[in-house]
Amino acid sequence: MFKTLYVRVIITFVLTVTFSLAVSFAITYRINEDRIFRELEDNLIQSGKAVIRQFQSGREGGMDEYLSQIYAFRSQAALFGSDGTVKAFGNAKPGSFASPEEVQKVLNGGIHRFDFSKRGLLENRSVGLPFESNGKQYALFLKPQYKGALLRLRNALLTSLLLVLLIGSLLFVLAIHWLVKPIKKLTALTSRIAAGHFDERVPDRRQDEMGELARSFNRMSGELSQLERMRKEFVSNVSHEFQSPLTSIKGFAVAVRDNRLTEAQAKRYLTIIEDESERLAQLSGKLLRLSMLESEKNPLRLREYELDEQIRKVFLSLQPQWLAKGLEVDLSGLKPARIVGDEEHLEQVWHNLLSNSVKYTSVGGEIYVTMEVTDEQASIVFRDNGQGIEAGDLPRIFDRFYMGDKARDRGEKSSGLGLAIVRKIVELHGGSIAADSRLGEGAAFTVVLKKDITRTQ
């Protein structure tokens, strides 16, 4: 029970408020107690002086009558004479007013005041005033009878603070229930998402932190839903890409095994089996390469080298392919650029981009490369005037196994992994890649690389 956030917040609130009220009560009571006692002290001194003046004026009535009047005003009184006589009024014991030393001090002409060091003891608070009558020294002591009133004040203050605690706690319980309710909903929905229900959403209309949490939760749920869709699509694509050549290999192998083919047919079937096996090997290699890149188990082997020379070498290595289609290649836009990067990985980037350009550019088309170099980065653009890419395919061409319908219709042997590998390698180098194309007008791939990746690692 005490492990829930709801209960912990309530207990924390109650303990905090209780401590705060206790401290507030102590401070408030002490401040008011001092103020009240000082007012009492001043009133008693004024009352005592009035009694003394009335007594010394010679009016009829003795000291007993005057002191009885003082008692009627909720004060106790005691009269000490220099000859040792003592009279007390108001059911008070003479010894409760002051010590013998304090009495003697007043008889000698001093004034006795409240002792504020003795907190909370109203019985020990008294004032003493000296006066002379008929050649005899007297000490008049007065003490308030407001103990009950102070107790009632303290009790009223305590009651008020307790009511504040109870009412505040009740309102806080209701408020925290309202605040925790969305968290409970999020907890329940988290369990449903863990079970695979990625379409779950929570209301996010609130503009506070809970609303921001709900919006973050919905974004997370949406991204998980997209990842799940991509996972299923990936499994489906992998199955399709492997199933097609395996089916061909099995069918042609059975035909060869039955020994019902001519020598020419058997040789052709064996060639197809060899081609499909090579296709499977390449597909497996690309999957392994992409997996290693994404798991970062294949760290970059960084070295400084000439980027423009590397691109020229890639074009030379693929010269038979682009010459076979009569393509015109223009590398005049290359500029000298030394970068720090993984030479092998980046060579794969240029190889894949050039292969795509050659594959999807018609006979007699053009391929050209331009480069912009600054102190911090190099921007390389591969451009062709081939068939281009449909606008609906552009956002997904870097996804694994994604191939537009046009590519499938052409029957090209493409795994749909080349551009995914390109993007991952570029991202590992802290760069970016973007595609721009219109159907029938060719395509342009722009790669931006930092000249020295080690400066930001």
> What's residue 60's pLDDT?
47
Residue 299: closest CA among 457, 63, 128:
457
How large is the average pLDDT for residues 184-200?
Answer: 76
Which residues fall within 8 angstroms of residue 163, CB to CB, at 6 or more apart? none
Q: Which CATH architecture has domain 5-150?
A: 2-Layer Sandwich (3.30)
> What's residue 297's pLDDT?
60
CATH class as words, domain 301-455: alpha beta
> What's residue 374's pLDDT?
92
| Strands of 117-178, DSSP E | 127-133, 136-144
Which range is least confidently modeled, 37-46, 57-66, 263-272, 301-310? Answer: 57-66
Q: How far apart are CA 420 and CA 403, in angstroms?
A: 11
- Highest mean pLDDT pick, 2-16, 126-140, 322-336: 322-336
State the Rg of the chain over Cα: 49
What residue spans in the chain does CATH classification 3.30.450.20 cover? 5-150
What residue spans in the chain does CATH classification 1.10.287.130 cover? 209-292
CB 90 within 8 A of CB 126: no
The larger pLDDT score, comparing residue 196 to residue 251, is at 251
Q: Is the pLDDT of residue 191 over 90?
A: no
> What's residue 161's pLDDT?
76
How large is the average pLDDT for residues 398-404?
Answer: 70
How is 310-347 classified by DSSP, letter by letter?
A: HHHHHHHHTHHHHHHTT-EEEEEE----EEEEEHHHHH
The fold of 209-292 is Helix Hairpins (1.10.287)
CB 76 within 8 A of CB 140: no
Q: Is the pLDDT of residue 305 over 90?
A: yes
What residue spans in the chain does CATH classification 3.30.565.10 cover? 301-455
Q: Is the pLDDT of residue 408 over 70?
A: no
> What's residue 5's pLDDT?
62
As beta bridge partners, residue 132 has 137
> What's residue 186's pLDDT?
75
Residue 143: closest CA among 236, 47, 50:
47
CB 447 within 8 A of CB 349: yes
Q: How far apart are CA 75 and CA 140, in angstroms?
A: 12
CB 150 within 8 A of CB 122: yes
pLDDT digits (tens, 9 = 90+) for 152-161: 767 777 787 7
How large is the average pLDDT for residues 110-131?
Answer: 73
pLDDT digits (tens, 9 = 90+) for 231-248: 776 676 667 667 777 888
Q: Is the pLDDT of residue 112 over 80?
A: yes
Q: How far apart are CA 446 and CA 315, in angstroms?
A: 17
